[in-house]
Structure 1
Amino acid sequence: MPNPNESPAVQSMRKEQAEQRKQARRGELDKAIEDTFPASDPVSITHTSIPAGRSDVEAAERVKREPDPTALDQEYPLVDQVLRSSGRDHEELRALQKEAGRIAESASELASGTARLAKAEAKSFVEDLEDRIRRQPLTAAAIVAGIAFVFGATR
């Protein structure tokens, strides 16, 4: 109840302060409700899809110390020792390394080509589907409605 002895400015200030306290409590309540809603859902863990590197520092250091098996200009002392003991020379090793590099490159190109082919097939399928939907929109809508009904009935 406003005090009749207070000036209108003081009354206005008190009213404004009361509204601010009320808004702050309402904001806290809204935040608490948002933080707990819906309470029946399990907690979900969010993660980024961008790789950030190795989380195991020791494993990362170990990988850095190991020689790159695909590099052609590296020395492999154990392989050299085995080849010397078996009578093969260093040039044969280099030829084998180069051939292994070419095989790895071919495999990479094959995988890349396969991925491009799969993308082209998927794009072609989507374009064909879009064309069919444009030609027969009512049939497409009926099919979608049927699928939605079956999906809803089974859930």
Structure 2
Amino acid sequence: MAPQKSPAVVALEQEQAAQNRLPADAELDKGLKDTFPASDPVSTTRTSIPTGAGPAESNIDESPRVAEALAASGDTSSYEGSATEASEEVQALRREVARLRESAAEIGYASVRVAQSEAEVVLDDVRDRVRKRPLAAVGIAALIGYIWGLTR
């Protein structure tokens, strides 16, 4: 006598047989239909509103209003002091972050100015050398051009 197959095995075999009967395109179409909401194209829009925290946004108060929410619910006994302290600490941290952001921007601008002045000094030095010895400068330029041409 042949062993009885469990209902799970019978269902698996039926499902595999049904899948083997379907062509590959039909399976792809079925998968796309099953995931219809996710298959919609993504909208590619751009906003003209900047998203970075600029100077105008640094004055915005975004701290949580825990004390106000607790006061509205009527239970301020144990949380009022800690919520006020937390709010003050958040404000202090926001001020520190704003100060650090301004310092980083100043350092960046200063380093750009230093690099520009150094480049101007090097350019002035090269101009002075070319004026003092024009034939040597033309010879060096010709040699560099010849070597560049050999490597191409």
| CA distance, structure 2, for counterparts of residue 135 and residue 147 of structure 1 | 20
Of the candidates 37, 42, 47, which is equivalent to residue 60 of structure 1? Answer: 47
Gap change, CA 1:128 and 1:89, over 3 Å in 2: same
Gaps of 5+ in 1: 1-55
The corresponding residue for 1:48 is none
Moved over 2 A (4+): 66-74, 76-81, 84-89
Q: 2:143 & 2:58 partners in 1: Cα distance?
A: 57
Among 117, 140, 146, the alignment partner of 1:143 is 140
Partner Cα distance (1:76, 1:67) in 2: 18
2:63/2:91 contact within 8 Å kept: no
Q: Tell me: CA distance 1:72–1:93, structure 2 relative to 1, closer, same or farther (3 Å).
A: farther
Aligned-residue sequence identity (percent) comes to 32
Aligned length: 95
Residues 133 and 140 in structure 1, CA contact (< 8 A), matched pair in contact too: yes
**Higher RCO, Cα 8 Å, sep 6+:** 2
* SS at 1:98 equivalent: helix
Deviation at 1:153, TM superposition (A): 1.6
Show the 5 A alignment for 1:24-43: none
In structure 1, distance between residues paired with 2:81 and 2:125: 61
TM-score scaled by length of structure 1: 0.51
Structure 2-normalised TM-score?
Answer: 0.51
